[in-house]
Structure 1
Amino acid sequence: QGSTQKYIVKNYFYYYLFKFSAALGEEIFYITFLPFTYWNIDHSVSRRMIIIWSIVMYIGQVSKDILKWPRPLSPPVVKLEMRTDAEYGMPSTHAMAATAISFSFFIATRNQYEYPFEFGLAAAFVFSTLVCLSRLYTGMHTVLDVIGGALISAVLLMLLYPVWDTIDHLLLTSPFCPLISIIVPLVLCYNYPKLDYYSPTRGDTTTILGAGAGATVGFWLNNQFAAASSTGEDFQLRLPLLTGKTMVVMLARFLVGILIILLTRQLMKSVVLGMLGYHYKFPMRDLAARRRPEVEVPYKFITYSSVGLTATVIVPLLHELLGLM
């Protein structure tokens, strides 16, 4: 990885617009928007988005490390991000995630609510386009990487859409759901394509699959035990009907939920890493040891599956206890 390049910002509007847009494909967006949808909009919409997101991102991350197409050379481009520079470029998983999340949200909400088709389509298109353009602006991808990512995501969405109701039903009702939701992602993470050098793709993939696994188990538990949070019927809100009181309650749910999620993530990181460090005899600050598969996979999977489970089970129960339901 190269050192950070010096550059001059000539247009701060584009600079901050695309820096913000790039963040829409990062953990900070996933850990806020996906739970917000579950707590405040509609559970069925959230379930479909999380399943699509998990599948699309796994395929995208694995494709990168199989194809091994390099990122744009620097120079001539200036790279505004360094964390993911060690990853390969094709396809752009930012483009894949943005396309999958925005259009699955659009399709799922159109199946639940009545609102102008053109508005939803335009919003999904603008969202995904901004994220795609941000990858070019930040110098992290070529045009082909971005187009390839968006097209792959679109194809996967078209293939999954006809069966996503069936998948959703099975995940809610099958007695094997918890077992499958944990074992299959773990097997995929442990059998992730090996590279000649360390890349954050395996860790990021484990994070995504772990969060998806925890959330899926949470969906199943809510459905089995008929928790108040198991359906979105109580809060099938349409934007024109939003009131000041409703918005305050939604904000309160979000703030309480995010606080619990962040505390859970920090607690589980410390506990799991401490246990792994004790078992494998390495200090917690040993970065090289934390990158070993036998450490990285359980560390990230357990941490983020706990986050997913907390977001879908613990937080709604706390909302009910606090009178926010």
Structure 2
Amino acid sequence: MSPIHDPPKDPRLDAGNKDHDHYAQRLPKWRNALRNCLIPIVRWETPWLALLQEKVRSPALDSYFAYTANLGTHTFFMVFLPIQFWCGYTSIGRASVFMLAAGVYGTGFLKDMVCLPRPLSPPLARISMSGSAALEYGFPSSHSANAVSVAFYAIYMLRQSAEEDSSNVNSALQALFYFYALSIIAGRLYCGMHGFLDVLVGSAMGALITAFQLVCGDWMDSWVFSGSYWDILVATLVICVLVRVHPEPADDCPCYDDSVSFSGVVIGINLGAWYYAQTGYALQDAYPSSVPFDLHKMGLLKATVRILLGVVVIFVWRATMKPALFTILPPLFRLLEQARWNMPRAFFLNASKYKSIQPFADDDNVIPPVSDLPHMLKNLAHPRKRSVSVGPQSAADAYETLAYRNRRRRESINSMDGVPEDGTWLPSPALKPSTPAIEKAEPLLGASLLPTPMASRVHSYEQMMGTGQINFAEKNLTTPPGSDTDVAGDVYRLPQTPTEEEKEKREIFMKLTKPRVRYDVEVVTKLIVYAGIAWLAVAGNPILFEWVGLGMGVLS
């Protein structure tokens, strides 16, 4: 476990006075050493990604990849997962939940453990319809892990059924899932949100998760449905332990929030399925806890109404329980804090430091509040209304920009055999990694093998790295009309004095999207809310459907 750090009293001042040694100070030595080994890869691949954007970027592809990125998000999957259970696809629904939860938790675990930034911007332009995506670390890619795990599982199931049905439809569906996974992965590179290392590791994790589910999924389900109280209790405690041992990040990164949300989903899925399997409503001669469903007998209208009712119930639960828990939990947490039984996390405000929780809406990347739905639908209807930005967007971006810039300054100073008398520009001795060619402003590995104009372009992108600004004479961005563009267009110039350097640091951090205040009760709140959502999806709503006449009337 990494050490616990209280949120800085003045984040802007703290950020303005730290750069490359920020992670050396906040991370254990072994995690910082691992990060130092991987950082050169992020820096090496950035100019190549910028060259890729230059060669293939167009308004049509901007719209396509910004729009389809939503198909790899947690929200997209969470909308369709309950429908699988309500329509009788229980085994597929459970497998999807466990694979997505493993992907979100696993990638979030590595993100917060290694604290690697996304590829540097500039020279990359980042294209996204999500304002919170840039606040997360880059390595590994959650989109890639989610897309690959779901696609590979679907392809496996289709191949199993192809032995009985060799129709062209089966082959077409397999090809569609291959295209889906490749499109999501390519889109993360195209949009400048991830590098090659991010998507390769994320994809490998997705494939391993699928393999584990295929090998161990039935055994885990048989354990959950054994009927023993102790088995389901142990499964719940294991999830809670995983939530507790999640690494502390060095920056205010929301990866942990998503991990907690999906951990709650797994708890609720297991509790709900275990309970529903023992009622008289579940099918007895099918997969345990299967919901009775037959579209031909029920009819399309009735099936649609029950799906809409189920969605409404879930949103009502979320809208009512979150404010209720925000009222109930803080006094309890203050008592636990006085007894030293609290478990504080970095960047989460302890209950003793606030009297009430201010209303906020942007607290959830998994299931948004109802008030956000009109805005989300508007974005889907107008996919070009996205953000195309150049420059640091998060604290991790800013720290890496400053670190890389200072190392370039060091190389420049050393090459001139001149060092400022006060040593202000020298980097901290706490961080002395090897200096690859990219940090020395030398031609990139393999660049000499490229045609001269292309090698020149790659080298010019390398020169933009770490500046926090971009030279339009060097790069012509393709920004479609209607985009919300935030680009700094001044030619970069090294600060000449310590005062100018400090001013530039502060300007970088002033432009960042500031993470909101997060409260300690949010962790338990997310666990309860999402466990409740999952319980409703697999038990509460199916029972409700029978009560209101929207079920199949099966009661054994």
TM-score in same-fold range (> 0.5): yes
Cα deviation code 1:105-146 (max 9, x no counterpart): 443566579555423422321222232233223321113311
In the alignment, what sits opposite 1:291?
518
Residue 321 (str. 1) matches residue 547 (str. 2): yes
Identity %: 26
CA-CA distance at 1:245 after TM superposition:
6.8
Q: Which residue type is aligned with residue 28 of structure 1?
A: T
Q: Which moved more, 1:278-287 or 1:218-227?
A: 278-287
In the alignment, what sits opposite 2:65?
18
Q: Which moved more, 1:180-189 or 1:84-93?
A: 180-189
Task: Report the CA distance shift for 1:122/1:289 in structure 2 as closer, same or farther (over 3 A).
Answer: closer
Distance 1:207 1:105 in 2: 24
In the alignment, what sits opposite 1:30?
77
In the alignment, what sits opposite 1:61?
108
Query: TM-score, length-normalised on structure 1?
Result: 0.85
Q: Which has the higher contact order (CA 8 A, sep 6+)?
A: 2
Out of 71, 86, 93, the position equivalent to 2:118 is 71
In the alignment, what sits opposite 1:306?
532
Q: Which moved more, 1:304-313 or 1:81-90?
A: 81-90
Residue 161 (str. 1) matches residue 387 (str. 2): no
Q: Which moved more, 1:115-124 or 1:51-60?
A: 115-124
Distance 2:198 2:327 in 1: 38
Task: Report the CA distance shift for 1:11/1:321 in structure 2 as closer, same or farther (over 3 A).
Answer: farther
Task: Report the CA distance shift for 1:321/1:92 in structure 2 as closer, same or farther (over 3 A).
Answer: same
Task: Report the CA distance shift for 1:171/1:234 in structure 2 as closer, same or farther (over 3 A).
Answer: same
Cα deviation code 1:164-203 (max 9, x no counterpart): 1111111222523431332222221122101222110111
Task: Report the CA distance shift for 1:248/1:125 in structure 2 as closer, same or farther (over 3 A).
Answer: farther
Distance 2:252 2:185 in 1: 26
Out of 256, 262, 265, the position equivalent to 1:211 is 265
In the alignment, what sits opposite 1:7?
none
Query: TM-score, length-normalised on structure 2?
Result: 0.51
In the alignment, what sits opposite 1:196?
250
CA-CA distance at 1:224 after TM superposition:
2.3
State the secondary structure of the residue aligned to 2:210.
helix
State the secondary structure of the residue aligned to 2:282.
coil
Distance 1:277 1:213 in 2: 23
CA-CA distance at 1:61 after TM superposition:
1.2
Cα deviation code 1:4-45 (max 9, x no counterpart): xxxxxx855433432332112323212211111111141111
Distance 1:243 1:74 in 2: 54
Task: Report the CA distance shift for 1:106/1:243 in structure 2 as closer, same or farther (over 3 A).
Answer: farther
In the alignment, what sits opposite 1:257?
310
Contact 1:173-1:224 at 8 Å conserved across structures: no
Residue 179 (str. 1) matches residue 233 (str. 2): yes
Q: Which residue type is aligned with residue 178 of structure 1?
A: I
Q: Which protein has the larger Cα radius of gyration, Structure 1 or Structure 2? A: 2
State the secondary structure of the residue aligned to 2:247.
coil
Contact 1:192-1:202 at 8 Å conserved across structures: yes
Alignment RMSD: 2.8
Distance 1:134 1:245 in 2: 40
Contact 2:282-2:291 at 8 Å conserved across structures: no
Contact 1:34-1:46 at 8 Å conserved across structures: yes
Distance 1:74 1:84 in 2: 14
Contact 1:190-1:297 at 8 Å conserved across structures: no
State the secondary structure of the residue aligned to 2:225.
helix
Out of 165, 178, 183, the position equivalent to 1:125 is 178
Out of 185, 199, 223, the position equivalent to 2:277 is 223
Out of 116, 131, 141, the position equivalent to 1:82 is 131
Structure 2 alignment gaps of length 5 or more: 1-11, 13-56, 333-350, 361-514, 552-556
Residue 52 (str. 1) matches residue 279 (str. 2): no
Cα deviation code 1:216-246 (max 9, x no counterpart): 11111111224336544743x7xxxx76974
In the alignment, what sits opposite 1:5?
none
State the secondary structure of the residue aligned to 1:24.
helix
Contact 1:48-1:108 at 8 Å conserved across structures: no
Distance 1:248 1:178 in 2: 37
Structure 1 alignment gaps of length 5 or more: 2-9
Out of 266, 290, 301, the position equivalent to 1:248 is 301
In the alignment, what sits opposite 2:90?
43
Task: Report the CA distance shift for 1:227/1:233 in structure 2 as closer, same or farther (over 3 A).
Answer: closer
Q: Is the helix fraction higher in 1 or 2?
A: 1
In the alignment, what sits opposite 2:144?
95
Q: How many residues are matched? A: 311
Distance 2:159 2:89 in 1: 12
State the secondary structure of the residue aligned to 2:189.
helix
Contact 2:265-2:530 at 8 Å conserved across structures: yes
Task: Report the CA distance shift for 1:249/1:103 in structure 2 as closer, same or farther (over 3 A).
Answer: farther
Distance 2:298 2:189 in 1: 41
Contact 2:107-2:141 at 8 Å conserved across structures: yes
Q: Which residue type is aligned with residue 171 of structure 2?
A: E
